[in-house]
Amino acid sequence: MSYAGPASRSHGSAGRRDPAASAPARPIGSSGPAALRRPSAPSTDTDDGEHETDWQRVAIFGAGLALGLTLGAGAALLAAPQTGEETRAALRSRARRLTRATGRRSHDAWDDLREELRSAARSVRRRRARLAARKALQKELEREAVAD
């Protein structure tokens, strides 16, 4: 069934096609190319092009968000498989585990930073030593050139 209705074929028109049946469907009551275009965006009268905030919509969104959070928390409490005390104990143990893991990671990060800084300092010392050796070699070559 097409948008304009069912396509009907006569029994004797097996080789012929109905041009109306193959035409693209158009919304009822529209005609011409203007009906196929999207409506233009409403124009704003502001000179600097900034959008004005609709605070009523923001408030409605915030209220809906708060209501959803409240209903979700209530449903979670009602459907919890443990008692409140067991849930709090589980949350406490998870928090301790997370704290220990974060502490280990931060110690590892400090160790990594310390090693990186030591490596950078060694690299700078080697570079300075090479530069000093190069300067000493140049001075020696200059002295030999003057002595000849």
Q: Is the pLDDT of residue 26 over 80?
A: no
> What is the reported pLDDT for 13?
47
Comparing 135 with 42, the larger pLDDT belongs to 135
Cα→Cα distances 113→110, 118, 132, Å: 5, 9, 28
**Rounded to an integer, what distance in angstroms lies between the CA atom of residue 29 and that of residue 77?**
54
Q: Return the domain boundaries, the chain.
A: 83-148
What letter does residue 2 receive in the DSSP assignment? B
pLDDT value for 104? 76
Q: pLDDT tens digits for 88-127?
A: 898 899 989 988 888 777 778 888 888 899 999 999 999 9
| Stretch 122-141: mean pLDDT | 94
Structure tokens at 87: 């849930």
Q: Which residue has the tokens 């092009």?
A: 49
